[in-house]
A and B are shown apart, each in its own frame.
Chain A
Amino acid sequence: MPPFPEAARIALANTQLRTNLAHATATIRDKRARVVAEVDDWEELRTAGAATKDRVLLDLDTHLVRLEESLIRAGATVHWARDAEEACRIVADVAKAHHVDEVVKVKSMATQEIGLNEALAQEGISAWETDLAELIVQLGDDLPSHILVPAIHRNRAEIREIFLAGMARAGRPAPEGLDDEPAHLAEAARLHLREKFLRAEVAVSGANFAVAETGTLVVVESEGNGRMCLTLPQVLVSVVGIEKVVPTWADLDVFLQLLPRSSTGERMNPFTSTWTGVTPGDGPQEVHVVLLDNGRTRALADEVGRQALRCIRCSACLNVCPVYERTGGHAYGSVYPGPIGAILNPLLRGVGVDDQVDSLPYASSLCGACYDVCPVKIDIPSVLVDLRAQVVDAHRGGVPRPEAVAMKAAAATFRRPGLLRAAERLTRPGLAVVRRVGASAWTGARDLPPAPKESFRAWWKRTDGGRS
């Protein structure tokens, strides 16, 4: 993958992509704003969500051990995976133990992150994505471009082509005379996938939440493909990032309010499934849970960055990001695009190793909109600035990059909450701080814009995002 600036330049030239994205992000943004406004204690919910996640993260070993105990008590088998390879191996072993050559999958960021489909293919096991958008991406040999709507870069005509060409190769062919009406395309997917659901013996999922107290896993979805995978096959393997744990069942009330409203802009998503180990006579009778590290402990060790592990993958930050809106998800070179991707990838993978990863903390205008919408209050701008300093440090040794001095100074500012608040993120006083701490080396190479009269967020509030 080329570093972000190059990838972004290519994406910017794709007008179809930009049009689709602008439409999608604006639509979801509006829906979200409407349903968030209905909740009078939204700010309290955000605070509670952030605090609950921090409570888990700052005592993660305790909660993980508790989760493991509860899962085992409920009849599940618990596995631990240090990295992607180990996680993929565990899933492949379960599939092989049941002599299957295919599994059905619920859309899951964790399994995409570890490249599970490719790893299973190596073992001769086909992993079928069952989320409509993921199916479009998979049949089109493509990459997802958004966390919530991964195929948003495709229009209906392209999707029809993908179905006509791809479905036959993967199972039931697309119906004769398929046109590009969304309802007909969805019907084609229903028929194609139902065949797979009905015969599948092993399913793979992720989880949105894992309750330490009870061992309950939760999957939130819209289409019902999740319910199909979680219910019909006799064997279920769930790959769960270690940061997904919440302490108690009661804590879910906060997240089940925050997530759907932030994500799809609905009061509640169509389907939420919860299951606790094995229920005799109902659903899978063999349940595996793979607890996945794959860089999460690295992120946890980063004092400023560990808050990124609070993320509940709602994708709200993507939809408000002016950089994401113009470049789309592919430019980030990762399954985690947008503002959260710009911090999560360097945190999970470390800086100074890969130029593409190192370019991500610069993929932002630091406008702060992502922080304002984040349901668990992740201060993405501060983490970005801190990571920029880390990137600069990692490349020390040769001639310092022009960003070096200014970014380190800015990071120091961002680390100190008092100063940070005063600085109001590179607005008038913010820029003044950057100038004072020595941005001349930086401005020598870049244009430091004149300070705007008000902060982006203030402007956004005043004009309702430019609509009034």
Chain B
Amino acid sequence: MNAREEILGRVRAALEGAPPPPVVEPRSVVEPRAVVEQGAQRPISRDHSATDLVDLFAERVADYTATVHRCTADEVEAVLTELLGDRTTVVPPGFDRAVPHPVEDTGLTPTELDGIDAVVTMATLGIAETGTIVLTHGPGQGRRALSLVPDLHVCVVREDQVVPGVPDAVTALDPTRPQTWISGPSATSDIELDRVEGVHGPRTLRVVLVAGDA
């Protein structure tokens, strides 16, 4: 018998006489709230007004020592110029803001990427409760290697992309896209539980949070 048949056979034998699988009850909810991204509707467990939500997001991102820069749509480029300074910055296709020293992604190898100082991307959404940004690596976000290899990641998030909690994000996201959920910069506590930032991935994360229409 091949491994597949044998394992499935063992599973069936192991479950003989087992009770039926439980029906999973939906969790109770406090107040339904629409999810911004893709207009999906799903009740969630907590209630936040829109401004609360963005403030909470900013606060929670900052909790991870990832600096948050709030600005209006008109100010984005000035903020990027200030944050990126003299650095070379890889810019993913579809990112339509000017940066000081842009490098286009022409299928750069990991080693070539390693020679670039910074990366700038957009995001698909932000999660207020956990201070998380989620990339799904479409236009403006680039393939996964771009936001991984350079040492500084500047991520532009619009206020209207912020959702309350993890359930809202899961509902809104497309599972067939590769996803990277980022909550603060790379960190380790492996040496005597001392927190050290940036073992691999970007050691610095800066989130540009844009109000109004971006």
Mark A residues whose CB is within 8 Å of B: 20, 23-24, 27-28, 40-41, 44-45, 48, 51-52, 54-61, 64-65, 68, 74, 79-82, 86, 130-133, 136, 149-152, 155-156, 159, 182-183, 185-186, 189-190, 193-194, 197-198, 211, 213-214, 216, 222-225, 227-228, 230-232, 242, 249-250, 252-253, 256-257, 264, 266-276, 279, 281-283, 291, 293, 297-298, 300-301, 303, 306
Contacts and interface: CB of A to CB of B under 8 A. Distances in A.
Interface string B12-44: 111100111111110110000000000000000
Given A211-B175, A282-B178, A58 B18 contact: yes
Nearest to A73: B176
Nearest to B195: A182
A297 B10 contact: yes
A274 B186 contact: no
A183 B14 CA distance: 49
Contacts of A198: 110-111, 114
A268 B131 CA distance: 8
Contact of B129 (A55, A159, A267): A267
A271 B198 CA distance: 12
B83 interface: no
Contact of A224 (B21, B28, B200): B200
A155 B190 CA distance: 10
Interface stretch (B72-80, B94-102, B117-125, B164-172): B164-172
Interface range on chain B (Cβ under 8 Å from partner):
35 or more
Given A190-B198, A227-B201, A41 B182 contact: no
B180 A227 contact: yes
Contacts of B46: 40
Contacts of A27: 193
A24 B200 contact: no
A184 B184 CA distance: 20
A182 B7 contact: no
Name, among B11, B131, B194, the residue most crowded by chain A CB atoms within 10 Å (CB to CB): B11
For the complex of A and B, the 9 pairs showing the least CB-CB separation, nearest first, are A224-B201, A224-B200, A301-B14, A297-B10, A272-B181, A268-B130, A282-B143, A268-B183, A224-B186
Contact of B24 (A48, A186, A197, A256): A48
A274 B179 contact: yes
Interface of B: 2-4, 6-8, 10-15, 18-25, 27-28, 45-46, 60, 63-64, 110-111, 114, 127, 129-132, 137, 143-145, 148-149, 165-167, 169-171, 175-194, 196, 198-202
B3 A58 contact: no
A51 to B, nearest CB: 5
B176 to A, nearest CB: 5
A214 B176 contact: yes
Contacts of A152: 190, 193
B175 A270 contact: no
B205 to A, nearest CB: 9
A155 B193 CA distance: 10
24 contacts: A51-B24, A57-B21, A58-B15, A58-B22, A79-B3, A82-B3, A150-B190, A156-B192, A186-B196, A197-B110, A214-B176, A222-B187, A224-B201, A225-B200, A232-B110, A232-B149, A268-B130, A270-B182, A271-B180, A272-B181, A282-B137, A282-B145, A283-B145, A301-B14
Contacts of A159: 191
B11 A60 contact: yes
A228 B148 contact: yes
Contact of B175 (A57, A185, A274): A274
B199 A257 contact: no
A270 B184 contact: yes
Contacts of B12: 61
